[in-house]
Copies of this chain bind each other. A is one copy, B any other.
Amino acid sequence: PRSYSVTLLPGDGIGPEVVSVAKDVLSVAGSHEGIEFRFRVMPIGGVAIDSVGVPLPEETLAAAKESDAVLLGAIGGYKWDGNEKHLKPETGLLQLRAGLGVFANLRPAAVLPQLVDSSTLKKEVAEGVDIMVVRELTGGIYFGKPRGFGTNDKGEDTGFNTEVYSASEIDRLARVAFEVARKRRGKLCSVDKANVLEASMLWRKRVTMLASEFSDVQLSHMYVDNAAMQLIRDPKQFDTIVTNNIFGDILSDEASMLTGSIGMLPSASVGESGPGLFEPIHGSAPDIAGQDKANPLATVLSAAMLLRYGLGEEKAAKRIEAAVMETLNRGFRTGDIISTGMTLVGCKRMGEEVLSSI
């Protein structure tokens, strides 16, 4: 059988519960397709701070780099919220993204027919929404230098960050986005603030230049404030969106909430080469951690993305996605997506139902 090594990073809060389900699903789906997994569990985030003293231990990054793909649960919690920057769980996640060089973050936000009522949007607006946000993940204001705290000429405290993009950072991300759009409905909307920011002006220029290499993709540009509006006004106008790190952080979360079921949404982060990073878009939900209430499907669908984008195992990916749909069709729902007439189940049971659907 084909054999892959997968680093599991359960992390904090509900992370361990949902990763445990996804691990079982990977194993079973793999066995049907002649795939074998070697799993290695490593600490990240708050648990790593508590046990090792840093949010991304060297051994964790090393293990992740050596493996074929990385599956992350979630990081963070109230406990570490007040920590200084280098001891924040979030810092560990940013270091992991940078360390793996996963510059392209793919975040699908699709309204499933079974869950259209979960959306706070009117049914006719939500129905059929199917957006892919391609977010730049290892550059921009998240990593730009100089950054820090200072004093201005009046002797006052200041805090500052740098939004910076180079041509190649934009180009490599835009190429991924054009490829993604090409395999979808062929429409790419690049979101920036080129009417104000120089970093965005360069962004728009480079994306526009690349368009000639992808003449089958229809490119448009939109200012970020307008995009935030249009996502609510008429989300179906969007197919693929490409944008920078901070705008992508905001817009992908906005887009995901249009579906009303962020417990269902996976993400994939990939680089030029080397292992990809796959994680649900939801957080660590400390308030329900350890109570077997979490929805594991976002992580299960992240495992499907791992198979597709990380390992090129399309058939196994489809097998998992089909099993999730069948489980929903059989009426099983966790608390976050429950509706009248459906069967309320916990995290483990949801996992078992997916396994039995595979």
Q: Using a CB–CB distance below 8 Å, which chain A residues touch chain B?
A: 76, 85, 88, 90, 94, 120-122, 125, 141-142, 144, 147-149, 152, 154, 156-168, 193, 195-203, 224-226, 228-234, 246-247, 249-254, 256-258, 260, 262
Contacts and interface: CB of A to CB of B under 8 A. Distances in A.
Contacts of A230: 257
A167 B163 contact: no
A158 B167 contact: yes
Contact of A196 (B90, B165, B253): B90
A250 B224 contact: yes
A262 B226 CA distance: 12
A147 B252 CA distance: 27
A109 to B, nearest CB: 11
Given A144-B160, A258-B232, A225 B196 contact: no
A160 B199 contact: yes
Nearest to A84: B201
A233 B200 CA distance: 29
A232 B120 contact: yes
A181 to B, nearest CB: 23
A112 B13 CA distance: 40
B202 A229 contact: no
A240 to B, nearest CB: 19
Contacts of A160: 144, 162-165, 198-199
A161 B253 contact: no
B165 A201 contact: no
Contact of A250 (B76, B94, B199, B225): B225
Given A120-B121, A157-B166, A232 B254 contact: yes
A168 B156 contact: yes
24 contacts: A85-B198, A90-B195, A94-B196, A120-B125, A121-B121, A121-B232, A154-B166, A156-B166, A157-B202, A158-B166, A158-B202, A159-B164, A159-B199, A159-B200, A159-B202, A159-B203, A161-B197, A193-B246, A193-B249, A224-B250, A228-B254, A229-B256, A229-B262, A230-B257
B250 A232 contact: no
A231 B144 CA distance: 29
Contacts of A247: 250
